[in-house]
Amino acid sequence: MSEARGTSVLDQGDHIVIRIPLTLKRRAGRKEVIVDPSPSSAPARRRQTANPLMVAVARAHRWEELLESGRYGSWVEIATAQGVDPSYVARILRLTLLAPDIIESILDGTEPDGLSLGKLYQLPMDWDEQRRVLTREAGTGSGDSPFSV
């Protein structure tokens, strides 16, 4: 029987114990199980479900592009065209002010556990301060920051 790295199968007589290394990651208040793919297994597939943070960041940059191209004259026009509240568009557009490495971690799905849109909306505009706040909230030491400080 082949075993993936870190996975073990133990035959203990009348039962079998299977151990699979995994990580629990909190996303939008829900826990998600992350199983590390082994190098010997097939390449890991990207998640099929859209992470709300990814969707929000993509939407923010798309709406910013529409504003900069002149297709819409204001965020209120975008809200009207999309059928959403103008305050929602304004909040989402704030995500374009996130540091590039924070955006990258969201798009890669490697953002800190428990990160939510509510927390992103409250971040300061300064990139270094954003990184410090998120590192502090993640409970990691300054040397363990997932971001480039």
Residue 30 lies inside a defined structural domain of this protein:
no
Give the number of domains in the chain.
1
Domain enclosing residue 69, as ranges: 50-139
Mean pLDDT: which of 15-19, 31-35, 99-103, 110-114 is highest? 99-103
Residue 82 lies inside a defined structural domain of this protein:
yes
Residue 124 lies inside a defined structural domain of this protein:
yes
The CA distance from 42 to 18, in Å, is: 20
- Over residues 55-81, the pLDDT tens digits come to 999 999 999 999 999 999 999 999 999
Residue 5 lies inside a defined structural domain of this protein:
no
User: pLDDT grade, residue 51 (50/70/90)?
Assistant: confident
Residue 146 lies inside a defined structural domain of this protein:
no
Q: What is the pLDDT of residue 5?
A: 56
Return the bridge partners of 16, or none.
Answer: 11
Q: What is the pLDDT of residue 70?
A: 95
- Over residues 98-127, the pLDDT tens digits come to 999 999 999 888 888 888 999 999 999 999
Residue 10 lies inside a defined structural domain of this protein:
no
The CA distance from 39 to 124, in Å, is: 39
Residue 116 lies inside a defined structural domain of this protein:
yes
Query: For residue 28, is pLDDT > 50?
Result: yes
In the predicted model, what is the mean pLDDT of the chain? 80
